[in-house]
Structures are given as structure tokens and as C-alpha cells.
Structure 1
């Protein structure tokens, strides 16, 4: 019985294997033609840029099992997805011979050359994505007289396509009744927006941002009433936002016209776009008061009006928008107090009110913003900093707080501790100017990474507890009235000592960029340079040699103090330094011999000290002008047009050695002369003795 069962099992397994072999036979694999078309595509890729595919795309094997290839039940190729595979080379037109291809995604590679029109005008391709490559050419080359293709999604963003972006966009695309998404952003298109896009009756997404488009928004564009996303940021568009036209796009969820040259006001009809979720109008030339109807856009999640010339009392607008998460009203001329209605936005994550004319202080209702993480209040006329801090501490999720250029002449709150701000990572209270000392309550902000207290009138010394802020890597306390020695505790800032510590920084993007300077913005905290700014204070004493421990420092500024002594040799350990400024102090001596090993220096200034000897040469130091050294009369070198025949450093060093060795030299000389004198006396005595002896001997013999 057992033998019969075993025989049955063996027979069954054999049938299973036979069936598997049957299904895996070449007869059920993709056709030889399609395999050849795919291999033609592979052959057009540059050597080394297709090594991953070479392991999978092998002649004679089933191409339906190749990496990135999907097939239908009849084994015809239906989709190719090779995104982020490091592909280089050109796209072969042979892919256009795949008669059943519906989805082609070659995005995020390094492909170059043109986009074959055989793909754009393909009879079955529905989604074509070649974004984030290095493709080029003109869209005019893609025109055809053939009936419109079934293409629904065309994404050619982030390439180098050129040519005039005009009504000459292939008509075969726009007449397709099924066309829904067109993304032409981040290329090099110029001229005006085409007038024929209203023929794309089903078009839902139209993106052409970050190009060189100009002109006005054509009226025909607003007849594409199916549009849900209209995005043309970072171009050269001008004119006004016509309210009678905008209202026609009732399905809009995203309107992005930021960073253009639009003028005029935000039309009242904006309130009729009830589905609107994002409104980007920042960085234009728009003006006037914000319409009260904006409160009717109850689905609004994101609004940016940054850097325009809007005016009026913002508190008149009802911002009771329950879905609002990010709001940027900065760099305008808004007045009044901070709108009370904004405190009802329970989902608000980021709020920027910087560079306006707001006054007064916060309502205690701001504590209702439990989700608030980013708050920028810089450059307004807010008052009562202690009350503001006590109020904001209730926002438990706050990570970024920027409130400099307010609270004119007030006293820095000196309470010992503040119950709150346990998640704060960025704090800027600069340019107020506040009086008082660096407060102890800052020592409780254990997650702090960036601290800016510059351009105030703070007095006292640097507190030793600063090194206990284990995540702090950017400290700016310049332009105050701080005094005393630079404490060695400052050199123990954990994040500045080793790269492994820097890796602990949160890689997540900020909710809004931090505009640290007019030309610098940061979306990641980790992108900030590791910096120590102590310039323009009253610090005395020497530069601690322990500074060599801060190996991650990129910016080091001790300028305009009263520091003395020599530049410590340990400064050469700071091999990541990009900026080094010791100007306007009382430093003496010569430069450390290995200073030229700081290969990343782009700014170097030691002017107006009492340094001596030759200036550093080699590497980056050959790029610095004499302004880096001016005000040090005892320095020499080619950059100063002062020859170092016998350098003051050598003279000083030799004179010091000479002075220190004079007693030894005199002792050796005197001792030597004395020894010679004694030796001479001995020899003379010996000669006299020998002569006397010779005279005595004969007498004895006689």
C-alpha cells in the first residue's frame, strides 16, 4: 500500500514538473519581435549605464520576466518601468514598435538626446513619463497628421527641451479626447502660453513651471474647464488675474502662479473656487487688500502670498479654515494685530507673518494651535517678549521659532526655566535689541540645534551650560556686549566634534523654507553650516587650543574682539572650515605652519592684528587678496608686495633663540678659553720641568 502511495506521489510530481516546463517553454514567452525591440533599446544605452539590465535582459530568455517589463495574458509587452535605474544613453525609437505598450516610465535617469516621436504619437501608449533626464529638442518635431493618440499623461519635466512653447504644440496631443495630464515644467521653453490648450477638453493637470514663458494668461486657457491643477510658477508671466476668467475653473484644486510678474489684486471671485486647496501667488507684484471672500475657500490647505505689496488689516479676513495647514503672508504691508480667526485653524502647521507691520502681541488663544510647528514673526512691531514667550510655550509641537527684529529695547526674559518648548530646534531672537544676559531657561531647550541671539545688547559672559545642548551646531551671539574669555566649555559642543554626531540630524524637510539671508534659504536643518559666530563683542584672552576639537566647523568668526596671543596650531585640525575670520583683534606671532591644509576655505580674514612673518601660501591661500592681511605691518609675502628675504618670523625666532642661548654660548666660550689657558699653563710647566730634568741628569752622571 505504501509503495503504491509513493508511486502515485512521484507520478503526480512528474506531471506538475511537466506542466511547469510546458508553461515555461519558449512558445508561451514574449514574441521574438518584441524581444528584439527591447534588446535594440538596451543596445542604445551607454556602456556602464545599463549594467543592471544586462543581468536580466538576456537574449533567449522570456522578456516578460525581465526587470521592469510587464506583459498581458497573451504575453505582449504592456508596460516598461525603469525609473531610477541609472540609465545613460539614448532612447531607441524601437520601443515604438511594441504594439501593445501602454505605460512607459523612464524617469529619474540620465538619458540624453531627443524623445522619439514614435513614443509620443504611439497608438496605444496612455502614460509616458521621461521626467528628470537630460533630453532635449523641440516639441515642434513631434507634430503629426495622424489621428490623435490615446495619450493621457505626458510628463517631460526636468529635462532640457527647448523651443518656443506656442500654439504649435502638437495638435495631435490636444485633439485627443482622453488627454488628462501634461507636465512640461523645468525645461527651457520660451514665448507665450499656447492658445489652443482649451481643445484638451479632458485636461485635468497642466504644469509648465520653471521655464522662460512670458506674456499673459490667455482667455482660451480658462475654457479648459476640467482643469484641476494649473501650475506655471517661476516664469515671466505678467498681467492681472482676471476674476471673470478665473471663476470658470470651478474644478481647480491647485492654482500656482508664484514667482512671475503678475500685478493687480486678488479677485473677489477667488472665493467661488470652493474646491481650491492650494493658492500660490507669492513673489509677484500684486497689491491691494486681500478679499474677504478668501474665507469661502473652505478646503484651502496652503496659501502663499509672500513677497508682494498687499496691504490692509489682515484681521478683517475670516481665516476659520479647518483644513488650513500652511500660510505664508510674509514680506507685504499688512497691518493690525495678528488675526484672531487664525487661532481657530486647528490643523495649522506653519505660519509665516514676517516682514509686515503687525503690532501688539499674541492672544492666549494661540495655545489652541496644537499642531503648530513653524512660526516666523521676524521684522514686525510686536511687543512684550516675555508675554509672547509665555504664551507660545503652550504650542507643544513648535520646532522653529523666528521672532527677531521685534520687542525694541526690551529686556531678555530672565526666568530660570520655562515649562515648554521641549521640541524647539530653531530659535532666533536677533536684532531687537534686547538687554540683559543669555538666559538660563535656554539651557532647558535640549533639542535646540540652531540658536541666533545676534545684534542685541546682551552682556555678561558665555554660560558654561552651552555645551550641554548636545544637538546645537549653529550658534550666533555676534554683535552684542559679551565679555570675558572664550570658555573651553564652548569647545565641547558635541555636534561640532565628530561627523557621526552630525548624522543624528533629522533629515525631514521643514514645513516652510528658512530665509536666513536674501540669497540663502534652507529646507533642511542639516543643510545649515556648522557655525560659531562670536564676532563684534568684548571677548579677551587667547583662543583656546581646544578649538581643534570642533572638527565639523564650517564657519568660525571671532572678529572685532580683544583677543590676544597666537593663532593656535590646533586650528589646522578644522579641515571643514569654509570661513575663518579673526580680523580686528590683537593676535600676535606667526601663522601655524600647516594652515595651508585648510583646503575648503573660501573666506579668510586676519586683518588688523599684530601678526608677523610670511603669509600662508599654496592651495586656497593663493586666491586671497591683500585685504585678508591688511593692518599687520610685520607680515610679508608676494600678495603684500613685501619681500620676505629674511622673514621677520625667522629673525624673531632667531633672536629669541640667540637671546636664550647667549648665557650658554658665553659659558662655553669662557669655559673653553679657561680650559685652553689651563692647558697652556700645563704645557709650559711641562716644558720647563722637562728642561730642568734634562739639565739635572747630566750633573748626576758626572
Structure 2
């Protein structure tokens, strides 16, 4: 670089620096400053970096973005240019309090994001008259009451007030004067009621509309002139409402739909055969309605559908899918309907299909031999499908090379658990064969499923001992062998399960809303749909004939949430080391032969919400403090305990007489007799005792 070039660059640098210094003299607009001060005064919490003690220039405060008045094209009334607030972004700051109406005076505001806070009470009307506002996100707060009827946001593009406590009717005016640019409208998870307003049809640019999880009523035919006019709509979510009637054929007008979710409503009649018009639709979710009839041909041959969820309806007939046409299908859920005939043998020809739920239908026959070539299959539920011949089912499904989840609950009544040593499920992570009344013992071939995370073989008639090799399942976080006839001790190896000690429990969730059966309470009739994430880390050995001790090494299972040992024949003391199981929420030791005291250290279990030691041979004082103050007397009945809601302890003592001797109630009479004999013997000796001995 020559000298001349150097001076040119230097001069330019000084000019640029001068411009920066000049810009630093810009000050926050006084009106905007006043609006923000009013905003902070309405809050209970303090915003870090705000206030006069930090800076008198509000444009330097956290979450504030400003532009100069000149850059915004605003005429100046004096020679001093000022900054105007254009963005106020404070999401997830735990802000609490009211939302000040003064924010409506920030007339140059483009973005207002106060989502995921603790703000409450009503929404100021002034916010809905900001002429330049483009993004308004107040989601995930505690706002309540109705939203203003008169809304005028001509520049709005993104509006999200979901997950609040808002109620009243949806304002159709939101689209009357704001229809040209609004493309995202999310009002989900509130308490809105009434009909879907016709005015929503004026939001001609709308691409994403979410009105789910409210109390909206009416029929789809009543909104056909509204929502069904939104030709640019790509996502429509109106699930979890109270909509009813037949689904209008005008749904076919939404030619750009990619995702349509109308689940958990009261739609009835047949599903309209209009899916040939929906050439971009990938996800159709219509579960938990009252649809009847058959799957329409345009849906069962759609080349774009990737996820089809029609479970929990009243669909009937045979399942006729055109797998040669459904080249994109990956997830199919037809569970809880009235389908009959055979399980469709052509499913393996749906080349990308990996998730299948056919549970709770009226199928006949056995699982098709064609499933041996179902190599894309990862998750399948055939619960309650009147299946028989469990040996054949397992022989076929073991050929599915990528199978990781297998649910066969409520089938194979009274058959024997096959012990075929050729069976192998090396990739299996979830196996549920509950409530089948299977007989026999746990087969050795199950030990090859070393990747198991969740195993439920409850409510059967299995016998023998629980295998020691269960402790080799390094990823196992949920084990339910309850309501069987197992004997022997709980394998000590289970106290070393890595995933429950310091392992990171990693759950590979099946695709959208894939159902698994989980017992909500002890009744077998309470089996219901749940997803994998709803299964808390659990060891459930209840309702068997297990004996032996409760291993002190259970203390190592710091990630365990549920330990259920009730209705067995376990004996010995309750280890005080269980207090180290810091994640425990449920500890049920009822109806065993446990003896000794309740360890006081258990009060340290701060997450414990369910606890029972009823009907054992325990004695002494019921611990107080911590979660123990929340447990009812039924948690301790059937023992010889005192204190709390049980019988009061003797005055000045830690417990009843039996506590002093450490005896159970069965030995109480013998103890008293022994004391009496000893007393008489002592008096006799006293009469002729040597003075030296007595002094000693």
C-alpha cells in the first residue's frame, strides 16, 4: 500500500469513526422511555440491565432494539435525532405481573415477544392497535379473560397467544383489517368457546392456523365459507375441541395443506373422498372422532401421505391400502376401530412404512407370512387383535430386521410362553406382552435382546424365578413383571442397572402418537394408550410370591422413580439406604413380612408422593417431616406403629414396649413372660446376695 492509499484509508476511517461517535449521541425517545418505565413498574420481577442505575438510554437495555427516527422515515421536530424502539424481546425471563397498556404507545414497535413468562390478567386493548407491529408473541403465559373484539393490526404477520387462560369467543375482526400479511395465527391451548368465525376466511395470506385445545363448537359445514377459503393454508390444527357433524367436502379446497389435524372432536359420518385434491398433504390426523364407513379410496391410495392416524373411530370393513400408490407412507395408525377380516398381507409392500398400529380391531386368522419380509418395520402394535399361536407370531416377526418395538398385549389367551432357542430379537428396545395369561417361565432367548429399554410381561401366569441376566440389560429403565407367580429372591443384579444408576435414559420415541399400553392402576381393565415418554423409570415386582430381603444396594438406583414390591413375601428390615434413591416418587412395600422400624432417613426422599408399608410386621415410631406429612394413615395400617395418624406413642418414650425389645407382635407375649420371670428371679437372688456383688 502506498503512502497516498494509506492516507485515503485513514481519512475514510476517521470519517467512519466520526459517524459512529455521532450516532452515539442519539438518545432514546422520551415517549418510548416512559412506556418502558410503565411496563417495568407493572411487573413484580426486575429485568436485569433495565433502569436508571444502569443506563438512561433505554436502547441499551437487554431485549431492546432501536432504530433512529430518520431511518424510520419519521420527520424530526428538532435538531436532535432520537432512537425509536422497534423490538422488545424478553422471552423466558420469568417475568411476572401485569402487562402495561403503555406498550401500546410504542408506535414504531415491529416485534413484541414476551413468550414463556409468568405474565397474567387481561391483555391491554392498546396492543391490538399498533399500526407497525409485525410479530406479537405472548404465548405460554397466564393471561386470562377475552381478547379485544376490535383488532386493528394492519402490519401483523405472526400472532401467537397460545397456551394461556384466555376465554370468550374468537374475534373474527382479527382478519377484517389484517388480512393482507398475516401468515401465522396460533390461539391454541386456551379456553375459547363458540363457533369458528367466518371472518377468518379474510386472512387470505394465512399459512399456519392453530386453534387446537379449546372449547370450540359447531360443525365444519358452518365454517365452509370461512376457513375453507384459505387456499394458502399449509397447516390446519383444530384438534381437541368440540366440533361435530360431518366433515365438509370443502376441505378439499385447501389444496396446499401439508398437515391437517382434526383429532379429538365429534366429527361423524364418513371421511369425504376428496384427498385427490390435496396433492401436498403429508399428515392426516383424525383420531378420536366418530367416523364410520371405510377408508375413502383417494386416501388409501394417496402418494403424498406419510402419516395417517385414524385410530379410535368406528371405521369398518377390511383394510384395503394401495401400497403400490402409497409410496410415501411411513406411519399408519388404524387402532381401536371395527376393521375385520385378515390383517392386511400387503403392508410389507409399503416400502417406507415403519410404524404400524392395528390394535383393538376384529381381525381373524394369524399374522401373515408376508411380514417376514417387512424389513422397513420398526414399531408394531397388535394388541387385542384376537391373535393366537404366539410361537408363530414371534417366528415371523423375528425376521423383521429393524424391529425395535413390539406390543402384543391382550392376545394368546392361556398359551405357553415359547422357549424356542432359535428366537432372536437383537434390535428390540420395547417389548410388551402383558395381560395374555401366558404360562411357563421367562425364556432364555429373551437374553439376546440386550438393547431392551422397556419390558412389560405383567398380568400373566408366569412362574419360576426372575432371571439374573435381567441385570445385563444396560439400557433397561422400565421393568414390569407384576401380577405373575414368580418365586425366589429379587435378583441382586438388578441393583446394578446402569441406566438407573448414572446412565442417561435415552428413549427413542416412535413416530407421532404411537400408542403403548400402560397400567394406570392395579386393575387390568385400566390398560390404556400412552406414549413411551409417559413411562417413568420403574421396577415393578408386585403381586408375586417373591421372598428374601430388600437389597440395600437398591440405593444405587438414583434415577429410579417407581419401586413397587407390594403383595409378596419379602422379609427382613427396610434398608435405611433407600433414602439415597433421590428420584423416587413411589415406594410401595405393602403386604409383605417386613420387620423392624421405618427408617427415619426416608424423610429425605423429597419427591416421594406415594408410600405404603401397610400390613407388615413393622413397629416403632412413624417418621415425621418431609413428604411423610402428606401420607394418610392407610399407608401405615396393619403394623404396630405409633405416632402421626396411628396410635399415639407412650408419653416420654420413643415407642411402645415392643419397640424396646425389638420384637414383633407375634413375640410380644413371650417378651412379657420373660420380663416377669426375670423379675422374680432377681428378687430371689437379692435376698442372699453378697454386699460386694450388689455394690458392683
The equivalences for 1:364-379 within 5 A come to 364-366=369-371, 370-379=375-384
Matched, 1:649 2:649: no
Indicate how the Cα distance of structure 1 residues 39 and 402 shifts in structure 2: closer, same or farther if over 3 A, else same: same
Matched, 1:239 2:245: yes
CA–CA separation in structure 2 for the residues paired with 1:319 and 1:658: 86
1:269 is matched with which residue?
Answer: 274
Q: C-alpha displacement at 1:37, in angstroms?
A: 6.8
Matched, 1:563 2:559: no
Matched, 1:455 2:459: yes
CA–CA separation in structure 2 for the residues paired with 1:628 and 1:463: 31
1:128 is matched with which residue?
Answer: 136
- Residue of structure 2 aligned with 1:46, choices 43, 46, 52: 43
CA–CA separation in structure 2 for the residues paired with 1:190 and 1:212: 5
Q: TM-score, normalised by structure 2?
A: 0.82
Deviations for 1:335-374, whole angstroms, at most 9, x for unmatched residues?
A: 2333233323333343222222234444454465555433
Matched, 1:321 2:329: no
CA contact (8 A) 1:120 1:128 kept: no
CA–CA separation in structure 2 for the residues paired with 1:435 and 1:171: 63
Q: C-alpha displacement at 1:476, in angstroms?
A: 0.9
Matched, 1:142 2:161: no
Specify the structure having the higher radius of gyration (Cα): 1
Q: C-alpha displacement at 1:96, in angstroms?
A: 4.8
Q: C-alpha displacement at 1:651, in angstroms?
A: 5.8
CA–CA separation in structure 1 for the residues paired with 2:598 and 2:201: 70
1:23 is matched with which residue?
Answer: 20
Q: C-alpha displacement at 1:395, in angstroms?
A: 3.9
Moved more, 347-356 or 598-607: 598-607
CA contact (8 A) 2:314 2:337 kept: yes
1:184 is matched with which residue?
Answer: 187
Matched, 1:194 2:197: yes
Q: C-alpha displacement at 1:455, in angstroms?
A: 1.3
1:585 is matched with which residue?
Answer: 592
CA contact (8 A) 1:353 1:376 kept: yes
More helix by share: 1
CA contact (8 A) 2:198 2:227 kept: no
- Residue of structure 2 aligned with 1:380, choices 385, 404, 409: 385
Moved more, 553-562 or 302-311: 553-562
5+ residue gaps, structure 1, are 680-702
1:697 is matched with which residue?
Answer: none
1:213 is matched with which residue?
Answer: 216
CA contact (8 A) 1:331 1:356 kept: yes
CA contact (8 A) 1:450 1:475 kept: yes
Deviations for 1:170-216, whole angstroms, at most 9, x for unmatched residues?
A: 26645634443322211221111112323333433322111111122
CA–CA separation in structure 2 for the residues paired with 1:275 and 1:265: 22
CA–CA separation in structure 1 for the residues paired with 2:383 and 2:52: 56
Q: C-alpha displacement at 1:271, in angstroms?
A: 4.4
Q: C-alpha displacement at 1:477, in angstroms?
A: 0.8
Q: C-alpha displacement at 1:461, in angstroms?
A: 1.0
- Give the number of equivalent residue pairs: 662
Moved more, 441-450 or 670-679: 670-679
Deviations for 1:298-346, whole angstroms, at most 9, x for unmatched residues?
A: 2112222122222221146658422222222222222233323332333
Q: C-alpha displacement at 1:533, in angstroms?
A: 1.4
1:307 is matched with which residue?
Answer: 312
Matched, 1:348 2:353: yes
CA–CA separation in structure 2 for the residues paired with 1:582 and 1:374: 35
CA contact (8 A) 1:322 1:344 kept: no
Residue 348 of structure 2: SS of its match in structure 1? helix
Moved more, 48-57 or 82-91: 48-57
Q: C-alpha displacement at 1:446, in angstroms?
A: 2.5
Q: C-alpha displacement at 1:449, in angstroms?
A: 1.9
Q: TM-score, normalised by structure 1?
A: 0.81
Q: Superposition RMSD on alpha carbons, in Å?
A: 4.1
Matched, 1:204 2:207: yes
CA contact (8 A) 1:467 1:493 kept: yes
CA–CA separation in structure 1 for the residues paired with 2:87 and 2:144: 24
CA–CA separation in structure 1 for the residues paired with 2:338 and 2:332: 16
CA–CA separation in structure 2 for the residues paired with 1:119 and 1:190: 22
Indicate how the Cα distance of structure 1 residues 515 and 453 shifts in structure 2: closer, same or farther if over 3 A, else same: closer
Indicate how the Cα distance of structure 1 residues 204 and 88 shifts in structure 2: closer, same or farther if over 3 A, else same: same
Deviations for 1:38-76, whole angstroms, at most 9, x for unmatched residues?
A: 74576456364421566999434866x975527599643
2:82 is matched with which residue?
Answer: none
Q: C-alpha displacement at 1:452, in angstroms?
A: 0.8
Matched, 1:284 2:289: yes
CA–CA separation in structure 2 for the residues paired with 1:139 and 1:486: 59
Residue 346 of structure 1: SS of its match in structure 2? coil
CA–CA separation in structure 1 for the residues paired with 2:315 and 2:236: 23
Matched, 1:468 2:476: no
CA–CA separation in structure 1 for the residues paired with 2:461 and 2:379: 26
Indicate how the Cα distance of structure 1 residues 599 and 134 shifts in structure 2: closer, same or farther if over 3 A, else same: closer
Deviations for 1:485-525, whole angstroms, at most 9, x for unmatched residues?
A: 223223322333x3x32xx1226654235452469865554
2:440 is matched with which residue?
Answer: 436
- Residue of structure 2 aligned with 1:257, choices 252, 259, 262: 262
